[in-house]
Structure 1
Amino acid sequence: MDASTTTRRLGRATVLAVAVALAVTACSSGGGGSTDNVTKSEPPRLDADDINPKTPDQLKDGGEVRFPLYQWITQWNPFQVDGTYGDAVEIMRTLEPDLFRTDASGAFKANADYLVEAKVVSTSPQVVVYKLNPKAKWSDGKALSYLDFKADWQASNGKDAAYNISDPSGYEQISAVEQGADPSEVKVTFAEPYADWQNLFRPLIPAAGIATPDDFNKGWVEKIPITAGALKIGVADKTAQTLTLVPDPAWWGAKPKLDRVTFRVMSQSATTQAYLNNEIDFAAAGTATAYGQLKDAKDTVIRSASPWDEVHISFGQSGALADQKVRQALGRALDRSALIKIANNGVPVQFKPLGNHILMPNQVGYQDNSGDWAKFDLAAAKKLLDDAGWKEAGSGQPRTKDGKSLELHWTINDATPQAQIDLATAAAAMWQAAGVKVSLDKVPSNDFFTKYVNPGKFEIASWRNTDSFPLSKSLPNFRLPVGDNTFNNPSRIGSQEVDDLLKKAAGTVDPAEAAKLYNQADAKIWELGHTVELYQRPTVVAARKGLANYGAFGLASTDYTKVGWEK
């Protein structure tokens, strides 16, 4: 649901998906209040973006671009479990070394500002050699080195529980990080193959900033101690909820075109009016209400692309939901097509049902693995509840078991758009028909992730996951928790079989074979009743006319040095 995200950008930032709309794993979904019929276009191809590309000579020197930010960022370490909010990760890939960038199709390319080259030099074992740009230096004056890679690996490989990490995927496969032929080379050896090695160390975090578990967990709270990017923090005003990035004069690469990039914290529902008031230059237009108000706004261009972006309903694992049959019953009782229609109302791009937790419909290897688990069948849902021991109590009444009623709570961000409230209300009515009473409980938007979703204190919730790309990034979304660390799986629902399949897939270099394994894992995730996928959410955004090299990105990464205003 639209509230914020935990994995990456607005529009693409509500991934940062639901964790904060700047980037989180992300929450956000469609709809608004309009009942007007809007002509639907097909979703854009996954390998397309819509960013108004311009060369540097076509842009003005200087100026400011103003973006919304859906929550104040407190944890800036992207390797720490609370630092995965989408917008935070995107900003950190500007302030710290982003070793590889991706294009709109998701292909990785070494970033010459940091790497002369990086390549696999051996496959048995897998060995990667990085040749660092000798000009690249941290803000404390030290050159980038193997020590930074080694520190990131040792903190993130899961061997020391004192480091509260977000995801050990890839790092746990590494057996050694050493200096190569000279100080500008880094040699990384893998004990097991890891196909998505280019997505590791993104961004690279300085060893000096994570020297101890305490530094790792707390040293990046409300501050960024060391940087090495084209931009640096200019102003971070928590009282005014404003964050400004400015060019770093020590930067060795191409000079950014803008004088500053400003982020202002506001609820997603406030962004439309803020855009119309010329307070920001970019706003999500993926709901009927927002699109209706923004599509004809002065000096505005609507842009769209198909990123890795999904909307789902998640189940917790406490109480009645600890029983897999109950979770499966909730999935069978939902008419997804009716729910998707509510979310899609008034939005110009067609929302397609999503049958996969890992692959998007326009990605190679996608297949619908939902089987019967997402097929609306009220009788089947009732039988599952019967089998779980929940007895019918009469028309409109919740089922009972051992003297308790089958009553659940759907935790909702109070900034959720009306269409998502309508969707949740419709889902609750469908569940009531099966004998499950579901109450909608609104909570403050700033608390939604931090106090409810992330610690797993919910029974039912909905948000967006964004940017789980490359495919190996899906593992933490479904991984079995280790102690108190839920990775990015706050429901805590999982299985060793799913973990093993996802890990094997991540180590499979052949894309076709890897896709088979990911699909096998996905079928098991559906069977677990972990999540009911609803739809892939196309990016639909409003951008100020003349804003260049920014908009709807698909799978491409942002290069803030190129963002600016046309001459």
Structure 2
Amino acid sequence: MYQGRRRRLTGAGLLVAVVSVVAACTNAPPPPLVEPTAPAPETSSSSQQPMPTEVVVGVDRMEGGFNPHTLADLSPTSSALSSLMLPSVFRPAADGTLQLDTTLMESAEVVPEAEKFTVRYRIRKEAGWSDGAPIAAEDFVYLWEQLRSQPGVADPAGYQLIENVASRQAGKTVEVTFAKPYPGWQTLFTNLLPAHLLRDAPRGWSTALDDGYPASGGPFAIRQVDLERGEIVLERNERWWGTPAASDRIVFRANDEVGQINALRSGDSHLAVFGADSTTMNSLRELGDQVQLLTVPHQATMQLLLRPNSPQLSDLRVRNAVMSAVDREALIEAGTGGGPADQLPAHAQVLAPSERGYTPTEPAGAFSGKPDPARVEQSLREAGYQRTAGVWERDGRPLNLLIAAPFRHEQYVRIAEALAQQLREQGIGATVTTPTGDQLFGETLPANPLAEDPAEVTSVDMAIAPRPAGGDPAAMMASSFGCPGVSPDGEQPFPQNPAGFCDELLQPTIEAALTGRMPFPDASARVEAAVWDQAVALPLYQQAQVLALRRDVTGVQPGHGFAGPFSTAAQWLGTPAKNDGW
């Protein structure tokens, strides 16, 4: 059993993660959740100066790990923080399509006269980090270098097509050259990171952002952090070159479900964004018109991976047996608790249920949702197993599968434990291991156990893992199910996908979709059919939370695409603070 790393407290100069929320994909611009009404100003009796205007947000417990580009940190927390702190070239518009962020960029366009597919980015001269350094080409270079080669990143396929990132005009113009045409280029270079502070970070890419960001490129900056107490205070970023934030500060307070409801009822929280089970949802509804409720899907689908590069599951018949032993509905209940995510069951291998263009691709009748003992027995006997004393064995060795779920992620672990019990009930041995997210997604899953010394490799047979959503669909498909390639210079091999799946016959189709030579729907139909047939991944549900909003804060909107409510935080207008004791 791996041990999770301890999170240390961070100082006021270090930005840390704050909340857990992202918003649903929408095809029409949503109205404000609450009509604006200006709060009455209050003044301090001692100084007669106006008290700071604040918005208090109730959140789930605060954890470290805030790199929005890694599977280990792919969470509502990192998504929310990145929308507040990190600059992006494109952001979702009102209709859900990507729109150039003109606060950061002057332009971003394909260079028609270039010999190879090239995109030229022009960054605004005034755009800079909160420590005074400019946002520049080095930030583009750093993100490209990491996402093309680091194991366990969320969406590497588009970055792996890039041959070179060149700096022009003192770093304020960036020219990106691709090995092949890439129609999805507008999804790249979101959530830029401060390269001048991270490039030589002593702990490296996988852990450098465990406790937050060392600089901000957004409208808010950190004022105070107290993770033990469960409170983080953000204040208006004085170095922000865009329109100043409407409120002076945002205060995040962690609480359990009962505490969230009490704080909303009393007015101690203006809004809350958190995971909720069915009991909590009923309690929220009992608050009546005190709050508005909204389900906000996260940009990740929860899935069960059956890794064909595992020696135990290399036989398709064994994978089919495992699929037949699964009680899918019980796994969904274990993960969602009957909360908002329960309404977003997933039945496709690439797109998430809330994404535009989502259509179930699951073959009719392939998975009943309940265990099928007869099919389990048939598949395992065909694979050469015999059931002895209630346990399936082959050549005197019992079938015992290792199921991994990331440490500290409660819903992942609950699903893994429920799955292990289901398999044991069908005579299949199962053990749950809980490594840290960095160990699981950055070391174990990207490794190929069939290409290494078996004595030196811990092979994970199955994993409960997120499948990212919201990017270029073709790139998402390539990142999830494509064969590992090499860098354009032919020197650097890229990591395997988390599923450990590679079909050389499918690879040309995946590459054709990625480079625009085949429409994504046509390519997806072929790829998804093969993934279902090979019993590689079982989608469960799209992750989601509840947004509960009181009427004394204005300007809160769901956000477009997967941008989420925190993408509009600069327009939130709260109420005068009850005290200014920070």
Q: State the TM bucket, normalised to the shorter chain.
A: 0.7 to 0.9
What is the CA distance between 1:150 and its match in structure 2?
3.0
The answer to whether the 8 A contact 2:231-2:252 is kept is yes
In structure 1, the residue matched to 2:455 is none
Q: Distance in 1 between matches of 2:402 and 2:203?
A: 37
What is the CA distance between 1:194 and its match in structure 2?
1.7
What is the CA distance between 1:255 and its match in structure 2?
1.0
Question: Which amino acid counterpart does residue 52 of structure 1 have in structure 2?
Answer: P
What is the CA distance between 1:197 and its match in structure 2?
1.4
Q: Distance in 1 between matches of 2:57 and 2:204?
A: 30
Equivalent residues in 2 for 1:462-541 (5 A)?
A: 462=464, 464-465=466-467, 467-471=469-473, 472-478=475-481, 489-490=497-498, 492-496=500-504, 501-508=509-516, 513-536=519-542, 540-541=546-547
Q: 1:210 to 1:295 in 2, by over 3 A?
A: same
Equivalent residues in 2 for 1:49-64 (5 A)?
A: 52-53=32-33, 62-64=53-55
The answer to whether the 8 A contact 2:92-2:99 is kept is yes
Q: Does residue 173 of structure 2 align to residue 185 of structure 1?
A: yes
Q: SS at the partner of 1:154?
A: helix
Q: 1:498 to 1:563 in 2, by over 3 A?
A: farther
Q: 1:164 to 1:112 in 2, by over 3 A?
A: same
In structure 1, the residue matched to 2:27 is 47
Q: Distance in 1 between matches of 2:258 and 2:313?
A: 31
In structure 1, the residue matched to 2:272 is 282
1:144 to 130, 135, 140: 135
Question: Which amino acid counterpart does residue 563 of structure 1 have in structure 2?
Answer: W
1:561 to 545, 570, 573: 570
What is the CA distance between 1:504 and its match in structure 2?
3.5
Q: 1:314 to 1:268 in 2, by over 3 A?
A: farther
The answer to whether the 8 A contact 2:257-2:280 is kept is no
Q: Distance in 2 between matches of 1:411 and 1:560?
A: 36
Q: 1:400 to 1:47 in 2, by over 3 A?
A: same
In structure 1, the residue matched to 2:14 is none
Q: 1:307 to 1:228 in 2, by over 3 A?
A: closer
Q: Deviations over 1:51-94 (max 9, x none)?
A: 735688867882123242444224x4545675544422431342
Q: SS at the partner of 2:386?
A: coil
Q: 1:425 to 1:289 in 2, by over 3 A?
A: farther
What is the CA distance between 1:272 and its match in structure 2?
5.5
What is the CA distance between 1:173 and its match in structure 2?
1.5
TM-score by length of 2: 0.73
Q: 1:346 to 1:367 in 2, by over 3 A?
A: closer
Q: Deviations over 1:361-402 (max 9, x none)?
A: 5645444433365356543332221222221236xx221223
TM-score by length of 1: 0.74
Q: 1:51 to 1:529 in 2, by over 3 A?
A: farther
In structure 2, the residue matched to 1:300 is 291
Q: Does residue 357 of structure 2 align to residue 374 of structure 1?
A: no
The answer to whether the 8 A contact 2:90-2:98 is kept is yes
The answer to whether the 8 A contact 2:18-2:81 is kept is no
1:252 to 230, 241, 249: 241
Q: SS at the partner of 1:157?
A: helix
The answer to whether the 8 A contact 1:480-1:494 is kept is yes
Q: 1:147 to 1:345 in 2, by over 3 A?
A: closer
Q: Distance in 2 between matches of 1:390 and 1:20?
A: 50
Larger radius of gyration: 2
The answer to whether the 8 A contact 1:114-1:133 is kept is yes
1:88 to 61, 68, 78: 78
What is the CA distance between 1:109 and its match in structure 2?
1.0
Question: Which amino acid counterpart does residue 358 of structure 1 have in structure 2?
Answer: V
Q: Distance in 2 between matches of 1:481 and 1:267?
A: 42
Q: SS at the partner of 1:356?
A: coil
Q: Deviations over 1:147-192 (max 9, x none)?
A: 332343334333xx7x986553222222233345786433222221
Q: Distance in 2 between matches of 1:553 and 1:294?
A: 22
Q: 1:463 to 1:290 in 2, by over 3 A?
A: farther
2:144 to 126, 132, 153: 153
Q: Deviations over 1:511-545 (max 9, x none)?
A: xx122223322233323433211234565432333
Q: SS at the partner of 2:129?
A: coil
Q: SS at the partner of 1:559?
A: helix
Q: Does residue 395 of structure 2 align to residue 402 of structure 1?
A: yes
Q: 1:220 to 1:305 in 2, by over 3 A?
A: closer
Q: SS at the partner of 1:399?
A: strand
Q: SS at the partner of 2:513?
A: helix
The answer to whether the 8 A contact 2:20-2:274 is kept is no
Q: 1:285 to 1:297 in 2, by over 3 A?
A: farther
Q: Distance in 1 between matches of 2:494 and 2:571?
A: 37
2:318 to 315, 326, 348: 326
Q: SS at the partner of 2:302?
A: strand
Matched residues, number: 517
Stretches of structure 1 lacking an aligned partner (at least 5 in a row): 1-18, 25-42
Q: Does residue 64 of structure 2 align to residue 73 of structure 1?
A: yes
In structure 2, the residue matched to 1:35 is none
Greater displacement, 366-375 / 525-534: 366-375
Greater displacement, 232-241 / 47-56: 47-56
Q: 1:297 to 1:359 in 2, by over 3 A?
A: same
Q: 1:141 to 1:481 in 2, by over 3 A?
A: same
The answer to whether the 8 A contact 2:56-2:251 is kept is yes
In structure 1, the residue matched to 2:453 is none
What is the CA distance between 1:286 and its match in structure 2?
4.9
Q: Distance in 2 between matches of 1:534 and 1:171?
A: 28
Q: Does residue 88 of structure 2 align to residue 98 of structure 1?
A: yes
Q: 1:563 to 1:384 in 2, by over 3 A?
A: farther
Q: Distance in 2 between matches of 1:344 and 1:183?
A: 46
Q: Distance in 1 between matches of 2:152 and 2:570?
A: 32
Q: 1:366 to 1:251 in 2, by over 3 A?
A: closer
The answer to whether the 8 A contact 1:71-1:266 is kept is no
Q: 1:355 to 1:417 in 2, by over 3 A?
A: closer
Q: Distance in 2 between matches of 1:347 and 1:69?
A: 14
Q: SS at the partner of 2:166?
A: strand
1:109 to 99, 102, 105: 99
Q: Distance in 1 between matches of 2:404 and 2:264?
A: 29
Stretches of structure 2 lacking an aligned partner (at least 5 in a row): 1-16, 41-51, 446-457, 487-491, 577-582
In structure 2, the residue matched to 1:28 is none
What is the CA distance between 1:553 and its match in structure 2?
4.5
What is the CA distance between 1:108 and its match in structure 2?
0.7
Q: Distance in 1 between matches of 2:245 and 2:95?
A: 25
The answer to whether the 8 A contact 2:402-2:433 is kept is no
Q: Deviations over 1:469-520 (max 9, x none)?
A: 332245444456799999795454444556654444232277xx12222332
In structure 1, the residue matched to 2:381 is 386
Q: Distance in 2 between matches of 1:197 and 1:388?
A: 45
1:119 to 109, 127, 152: 109
